[in-house]
Amino acid sequence: MNTIGVAWQDIPEPKWGTAVEPFLHTVLAQLEHSNWDLSVVFCNDAFIHELNKTYRHIDSATDVLSFEQGDEYDDEDGSLRFNAGDIVISLDSLRSNAENFNVTMNEELKRLLVHGILHLSGMDHSDNDPQQPMLQLQEKILGSYTDAIIYQE
């Protein structure tokens, strides 16, 4: 069983907040990731800007950051678990992306969540070229969830 934490940094939890965790469980199951621990923090551009500046030395906001832990440990029952890490998503950048790419907030939210999971899975991309293997896998996974609704105004 996967363990997922969802938190809201300096912003109130929206009504759609409870739909994030079930979506993540479904994606992790599709990727055959079990006994994973991960967290997702939703924030504003100011918060993610500071993280980006501190940890990536990039002095600007971004849409999603992934902090891969990659540690295995035995839980109190002796089961082997995987501490995947943390995904941080800026709702300000989510909105900007949706507008810039002419997609719904729901579609962009799913994209950023899947993107974060793929990074925590050890994947990476050198640029944002759609031909990058990670980004192709991301879009393939998203194709499985066209009807999934997380974000609702």
The residue behind tokens 């991309």 is 125
Distances (CA, A) of 81 to 34, 48, 143: 8, 28, 29
What count of Cα atoms within 13 Å lies in the side-chain half-sphere of residue 11? 20
CB 64 within 8 A of CB 87: yes
Over residues 84-117, the pLDDT tens digits come to: 999 999 999 999 999 999 999 999 999 999 999 9
Q: So what's the pLDDT on residue 33?
A: 95
Q: So what's the pLDDT on residue 100?
A: 96
Distances (CA, A) of 108 to 59, 115, 119: 23, 10, 16
pTM of the entire predicted model: 0.94
Q: So what's the pLDDT on residue 145?
A: 96
**pLDDT band at residue 127, thresholds of 50, 70 and 90?**
confident
Q: How far apart are CA 20 and CA 14, in angstroms?
A: 11
Burial class of 42 by CB neighbour count within 10 A (0 to 12, 13 to 18, 19+) = buried
Q: So what's the pLDDT on residue 132?
A: 81
Over residues 32-65, the pLDDT tens digits come to: 999 999 999 999 999 999 999 999 999 999 999 9
Q: So what's the pLDDT on residue 152?
A: 87
Contacts of 62 (CB under 8 A, 6+ apart): 48, 49, 52, 90, 93
- Calculate what percentage of the chain has a pLDDT beyond 70: 100
